[in-house]
Amino acid sequence: MSIIDLSYAWEQVPEVLKGVPMTLTIAVISMLFGFVFGLLIAFCRIYKVPILNRLAVFYISFIRGTPLIVQLYVFFYGIPALIQIMNDHLGWNMEADQISPLIYALIAYTLNTSAYQSEILRSAINATSLGQMEAAYSVGMTTIQGIWRIILPQAFVVALPNLGNTFIGLIKATSLAFAVKVIEIMAISKIIANNNYRYLELYLVASIIYWILCFVFERIFAWLENKMRTYEANMEVDSAH
């Protein structure tokens, strides 16, 4: 048996590619919900909302200070245990076995990325000029209108490179989802490799697919960043006139 069979590896590409939709589903959904949750956390910290600010600081520290794989296991085993407790004490009749492993994975990935995105967004919002809000008040805008129409668009441009890096990191992090029985790229590769004992070939295929995905989204975010900065520059020129 040769060290590596490239023809066999090529034959397995279509099978491994079947995991791409699940990988992207986890990454995209977690990123979007994590953005919303992270934005709320960022504002709790910026405006130092009583109690919530302290909880946010603890939450960010805990999520960033514990491994993602541990968080996946906590939700995968913890939620069914919690449901069982509720069934016993509150008379619920929920079946934890009927919950898809994807749900546990999405919860874990969303909460994980929200902690990182909250810090990115908080820094980006703080980087915008305080005079922007004063200008918003001067034209009759409310605080919410000023934040939505003026602060957030500028902050998003500042945050976009780091948000792009976070999303790319999230794509790679989905490779851990197989640990909680989610069938994505890594899970398919592992299953095929276990059946044929050709681990090197399958993991090489998986690594190339991950690399291509990351490269494509890196280009997409670079294009989006360029468009956003061009739009921002045009807006500044228009306002100057």
Q: Is the pLDDT of residue 196 over 80?
A: yes
The more confidently predicted of residues 141 and 185 is 185
CATH 1.10.3720.10 is held by the domain 21-185: yes
What pLDDT sits at residue 78? 93
What pLDDT sits at residue 235? 57
Enumerate the domain spans of the chain: 21-185
First to last CA, the chain: 73
Residue 181 sits at φ, ψ, to 5 deg, of 70, 25
What pLDDT sits at residue 231? 66
pTM (two decimals):
0.90
The more confidently predicted of residues 189 and 228 is 189
Average pLDDT, integer, range 218-235: 82
What pLDDT sits at residue 85? 87
Q: What is the longest distance spanned by two Cα atoms in the chain?
A: 76
What pLDDT sits at residue 93? 79
From residue 9, alpha-carbon distances to 18, 183, 236 in Å are 15, 19, 52
